[in-house]
């Protein structure tokens, strides 16, 4: 049965997959928001990222308007100011 907050793309027939562990590096506040969204939707972080990526691969939006509103709130809480326009301009800060 579906959860009131679980996105539509998560509901349906389960498909068996082989998963692998990865050493993904991601901007700190982006990760905080992703973790909070996963918690809000009652998903694992991996399931959330897979869903987002699969939707992006097909040119589809992964989130409903109510979830997008929640994401905006979470971005404000965690200080995430990056946008899609920043995606190809990010560089690592030098460690001193």
Per-domain residue ranges for the chain?
24-83
Mean pLDDT of 36-56: 96
Q: What is the pLDDT of residue 8?
A: 61
Question: Is 2 a residue whose pLDDT tops 80?
Answer: no
Nearest to 37 by CA among 80, 84, 85, 91: 80
Q: What is the pLDDT of residue 30?
A: 98
What pLDDT digit, counting tens, does each position of 50-91 carry?
999 999 999 999 999 999 999 999 999 999 999 999 999 999
What predicted TM-score, i.e. pTM, was given to this entire model? 0.81
Round to whole Å and give the CA distance between 26 and 30.
Answer: 7
**Helix, strand, coil share of the chain (percent; to 5):** 50, 0, 50
Bigger pLDDT: 96 or 45? 45
Q: What is the pLDDT of residue 9?
A: 56
Round to whole Å and give the CA distance between 55 and 62.
Answer: 6
DSSP 86: G
């Amino acid at each position: 049965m579906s959860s009131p907050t679980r996105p539509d793309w998560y509901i349906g027939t389960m498909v068996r997959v082989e998963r692998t562990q990865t050493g993904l590096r991601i901007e700190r506040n982006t990760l905080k928001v992703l973790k909070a969204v996963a918690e809000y939707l009652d998903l694992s972080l991996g399931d959330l990222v897979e869903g987002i990526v699969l939707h992006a691969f097909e040119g589809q939006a992964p989130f409903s308007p109510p979830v997008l509103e929640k994401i905006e709130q979470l971005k404000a809480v965690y200080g995430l100011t990056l946008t899609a326009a920043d995606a190809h301009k990010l560089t690592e800060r030098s460690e001193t």
